[in-house]
Amino acid sequence: MRDFEFLSPTKIIFGRNSEAKVGREVKNYSRKILLHYGKGSIIRTGLYDRVVKSLKEEGIDFIELGGVQPNPRVSLVREGIEICRKNGINFILAIGGGSVIDSSKAIAVGVPYSGDVWDFYAGKMEPKTALPVGVVLTIPAAGSEASKSSVITNEDGWYKRSINTEIIRPRFAIMNPEVTFTLPPYQTACGAADIMAHVMERYFTNDKGVNFTDRLCEATLKTVIYNVPIVLKKPDDYDARAQIMWASTIAHNDLLSTGRTGDWASHGIEHELSGIYDIPHGAGLAIVFPAWMRYVYKHNIERFIQFAINVWNVEPNFESPERIALEGVERLKRFFKDIGLPTSLSEANIGEDRLEEMATKATERGELGEFVKLKKEDVLNILRSVLK
């Protein structure tokens, strides 16, 4: 087990009607804020009205910027930065999912910086300061509500790139599982794949002596596997929605990375898919992750056997050790299929014409992943293996 320091200070405010507390929380930081949201689901569901009521009760002024789209774009981030500067805004409230939160984080690092915000995502500069960000979460998926990451797409070249820095972890996250009752089944499923991917990126490590975090990872995965079919049948099952929502935060607030390094190659490959083809991140992961597993399992077959037995209940005496490992991967893939996700590129209407470009982009800053280091050719092989 590696040495570590752990501080993941996002205050979680969880439960029914918790959005009524948003004014109280924001007041600790600012009286004039940017209200940032997506394409309108929060207006249709009434969440917008409830948030505005709470802000008004606390005398908080706000300027709005809606329109964040899934796979959020840098052009809207730049607009947000200008609005904050012109109006002396020093706090951003994100109401939405990973896309809105990531766009908010990008605005937060962009406002105090004299250059163009893309410099950070292109790896040219490190952000030094950021405005504080608060979150009202509407979809359990990206884990951005308590993560140190922001992922933004640049329309110029369709690069989807991330920054990772402690200064952008949200100050608070308000999480009411009832708000997620309105999620379409496909978004629920995409969210589940992303939560599971965040755990699995951490699970497949080369570090030894990490059985405590292994067990935490397995419990988080099993929670998602158990509860997602329940909410797909009964979208307003509060307890099942609540388990998934809390699991999404724990999957990505770095508790599960304590004492170990993760892999993150599947995320690197997926970001090329959603960057170029604008598919949901979770759908891309459902295609890439099982393919990555089949490509690398021989590197540490014992770990894959543990995954198969502890997460997917494969019988320890099933055929052969190799078959156990592969059966775990097969059950993961079947789960993704059963909840309505694509598991091949063709199911997502992606052909072979741009695989080379994606493999080049994914590895242009060096080899991808930690568990097994992947070169461009490896990425290409993985993508080719899931064409059909």
Residues that bind ligand NZQ (CB under 6 A): 38-42, 45, 70-71, 96-100, 102, 138-139, 141-144, 147, 149-151, 179-180, 182-183, 187, 191, 194, 252, 267, 274, 281-282
Torsion of CA 262, 285, 178, 33, to 10 degrees: 70
Contacts to Zn ion from residues 169-208, by CB under 5 A: 194
The residue among 18 and 248 lying less far from Zn ion, judged by its C-beta, is 248
Burial of 228 (0-12, 13-18, 19+ CB in 10 A): buried
Residue count, binding to Zn ion (CB under 5 A): 1
Q: Which is nearer to ligand NZQ, 34 or 325 (CB)?
A: 34
CA distances from 60 to 30, 35, 54, 159 (A): 8, 11, 9, 36
Answer with the entry of Zn ion, ligand NZQ, none that 100 interacts with (C-beta below 5 to 8 A by kind). ligand NZQ
- Give the burial class of 9: count Cβ atoms within 10 A of its Cβ; 0-12 exposed, 13-18 middle, 19 or more buried: exposed
99 binds, among ligand NZQ, Zn ion, none (CB under 5 to 8 A by kind): ligand NZQ
Nearer to ligand NZQ, 282 or 328 (CB): 282
Residue 276 C-beta: closest distance to ligand NZQ, Å? 13
19 interface partner picked from Zn ion, ligand NZQ, none, CB below 5 to 8 A per type: none
Question: Closest distance between Zn ion and the C-beta of residue 221, in Å?
Answer: 14
Of the pair 198, 331, the CB lying nearest ligand NZQ is at 198
Q: Which is nearer to Zn ion, 23 or 140 (CB)?
A: 140
Q: Which residues are at the interface with Zn ion (CB under 5 A)?
A: 194
